[in-house]
A and B are shown apart, each in its own frame.
Chain A
């Protein structure tokens, strides 16, 4: 019999069982997506199939490749004969999965020699490497480049060429595009799909992003807490999910949600631009910021009215975060003026008070002091605002956390819970402006939706103004009233959320919107 048969009886870690029994098959030339959030056991499943589980973890079960059985608990020596020829693993981050001190050519060549089982003559090797590079649409000169000289997308292509150089029967790709820019993601996934079809190879694509696999895999398997909750043809599962968890996953996916109607589209009209109605709470005019010779902000204007949510979108490096940091006083602008409630603010933190504005950062893992309890963190922030320490339970309740969280340390909380604490801390001094700098980007899609709901609710309850910085148009669309598009330190387009994201008038905005709808390219190629 041909194809891949996987029967895992279970994967155990030092803390007990991590993955329950799971079985699936992949036909030659077919692909299966394994979807799950972090902690669902999907990466453990992937690593168990190449015998590279981390220390302390063990798997029971069997992997069958074209009928050849490979027990999952085999010795490392036995696995070495399986890895490469039968199964190959492509890792998430192309910035770390290639050796930084070796050129790209040899890294592909080693796989070729490992497959041949002997040293190959240099000329033959060079030709073979060039062929492999051509397969992933890279020129032969890449062989002489060091990984750091290549872009993220090119590196991942090199990693794919290296992983496929042993011509495996099964390729496992573990979140192969998570570390890449949106524009590269679609290309890499389409390349993987194309190579897999051409070679008649089976592929197991692991992802947390349902929208990403649409049209790129034949079947899908949804995992949660180490168990499979739903399986089926990708199109069927996406269009008519049976399990409640899958439905939640689809509903929360911002990519899929980009097409959806805004829950309260009444807000999306021009009357709500706010500037006309109420005097701006903060207005930045002609803000300029340079880092050395590089001009990051080149005369940016922005104003926010009380109770208004203003989204600022742009790619990484566009200057959107620097703008937020200048407004917050964490960076000193080199030119322009920032006026808060009619009073101009000098550059830097010194001229600002905690009651004016607070910021919620991107990474919930590093934005809380790991040595302080949640209670201590909130008490400190309350004290700054002149509030009493016994308001901690009320603050926790406000952001939807249980009262017993006060005694915990950040390490004991999940990413979403930590971000709630960060929001509570930011709200404690009763700021009039809340700056969210990519505040939901590091979170799982479901948690993302919850935090966005929370922010929306807080805006309504507290009449707080929100400056929402994000690279993710779908997220901005869910929360913002107006959108400002920033590109290379300039404002490219500005207007109501619906207007800018649905009928963009500038070319750059059109490009951004098209990149955000990356799933559509896949849909058209396969359908």
Chain B
């Protein structure tokens, strides 16, 4: 009886209107996207050093946010740094999502030795915290930006694999999958036409949240001096470079720090909201 009431209540609670907070977040993300796309065009030489104009405070003529020790304009560096700070994390989230979908679906549906191998692999990767493993590996073995992206995809994938696997396991036990088996459909058709759409809300939500986590991980790595090579325009790099001049030009530290926090918050909020929307409309209670 209460179960029968559920859908009615839920149906009317989910408003079609997008909440104001989410609209604000989407605006912030749109601006960040613009910076990623237009940054290199607007400030093609953001990383050019000019010792003559070093350490100018915010509000100086020509440098609204001042300059850093090497005379680079903070505004230009920050706008140009959006690409480095954001493209990597999005690639990490998408890459680990794809890896998760492939391995998670195989493990959850095929079971047996394949499941065992994939599950032990994720156990192993989960035994070390992502950040520690990333620091050690990229610190000891070096490697540039895209090596770090690849490394983070590998380190992020266990959570995706587990989520997809759990979702597939849950779906595979449902009678509609057995009904598909009664029709003697091919295993790929069952996996990707029947099961995958039903776990897609989980997967997409997790990928959104992973963007935020990857953003944090990425900027943390560049703050620690690994991942992003010195001299690159990047928010995390800016923080570690400008720590020493925090009291000469606070904007050099505060602006990128606030930007990282703001973008991560917006991605998180949009991800949470999307997750709630998708689970409600998905019809899988």
A: which residues have CB within 8 A of B?
13-15, 38-39, 42-44, 54-57, 92, 174-175, 328, 330, 349, 352-354, 357-359, 361-363, 366-372, 380-381, 384, 409-411, 422, 425-426, 429
Contacts and interface: CB of A to CB of B under 8 A. Distances in A.
A57 B10 CA distance: 12
Nearest to B200: A371
B282 A371 contact: yes
B134 to A, nearest CB: 36
A14 B13 contact: yes
A354 B283 contact: no
13 contacts: A13-B8, A14-B9, A42-B1, A330-B178, A354-B184, A359-B182, A363-B175, A366-B175, A367-B174, A370-B283, A371-B283, A422-B179, A425-B179
Contacts, number: 92
Given A369-B176, A371-B198, A43 B9 contact: no
Interface string B4-16: 1101110111000
Nearest to B196: A371
Contacts of A426: 179, 182
A366 B184 contact: no
Interface in B157-195: 174-176, 178-185, 194
A304 to B, nearest CB: 17
A368 to B, nearest CB: 6
B44 interface: no
B52 interface: no
A103 to B, nearest CB: 27
A14 B185 contact: no
A266 B184 CA distance: 38
B197 interface: yes
Given A15-B12, A54-B2, A54-B9, A367 B184 contact: no
B175 A384 contact: no
B7 A411 contact: yes
B284 interface: yes
Contacts of A14: 8-9, 12-13
A273 B181 CA distance: 32
A15 B175 contact: no
Given A349-B184, A381-B183, A366 B176 contact: yes
A354 B197 contact: no
Contacts of B183: 354, 380-381, 384, 429
Nearest to B183: A384
Contacts of A42: 1
Interface string B246-285: 0000000000000000000000000000000000001110
A137 to B, nearest CB: 28
Given A349-B181, A366-B176, A384-B185, A56 B13 contact: yes
Contact of B182 (A44, A175, A354): A354
A44 B179 contact: no
Contacts of B182: 328, 330, 349, 354, 357-359, 426
Given A349-B182, A368-B176, 19 more contacts: A13-B9, A14-B8, A14-B13, A15-B11, A38-B4, A54-B9, A55-B9, A92-B1, A349-B181, A353-B184, A362-B175, A366-B176, A367-B174, A367-B175, A369-B197, A370-B283, A384-B183, A422-B179, A426-B179
A384 B4 contact: no
A39 B5 CA distance: 7
A381 B194 CA distance: 13
Nearest to B6: A54
Nearest to A425: B179
A38 B6 CA distance: 12
A349 B183 CA distance: 10
A44 B184 contact: no
Closest 4 CB pairs of A and B: A43-B1, A367-B175, A14-B12, A361-B175
Contacts of B11: 15
Contacts of A330: 178, 181-182
A44 B5 contact: yes
A222 to B, nearest CB: 16
A361 B180 CA distance: 12
Given A349-B184, A361-B178, A369 B4 contact: no
B170 to A, nearest CB: 11
A422 B5 CA distance: 23
Contacts of A425: 179
Given A54-B5, A354-B184, A370 B282 contact: yes
Contacts of A15: 8, 11-12
B204 to A, nearest CB: 13
Nearest to A14: B12
A358 to B, nearest CB: 6
Interface in B187-218: 194, 197-198
A323 to B, nearest CB: 15
Contact of B197 (A43, A371, A380, A422): A371
A174 B3 CA distance: 13
A225 to B, nearest CB: 13
Contacts of A381: 183
Contact of A359 (B7, B13, B178): B178
Contact of A370 (B9, B12, B184, B284): B284
Contact of A39 (B4, B13, B174, B176): B4
Given A174-B1, A349-B184, A370-B198, A410 B12 contact: no
Contact of A175 (B1, B9, B176, B283): B1
A362 B176 CA distance: 11
Contacts of B194: 369, 372
Contact of A367 (B2, B5, B8, B179): B179
A411 B13 CA distance: 16
Nearest to B285: A365
Contacts of A372: 194, 197
Contacts of B181: 330, 349
Contacts of A358: 182
Nearest to A54: B9
Contacts of B179: 359, 361, 367-368, 422, 425-426
A359 B184 CA distance: 12
A344 B111 CA distance: 28
Given A363-B175, A367-B175, A371-B197, A43 B5 contact: yes
Contacts of B178: 330, 359, 361
Contacts of B12: 13-15, 56
Interface string B111-139: 00000000000000000000000000000
Nearest to A56: B9
Nearest to B281: A411
A384 B184 contact: yes
A321 to B, nearest CB: 12
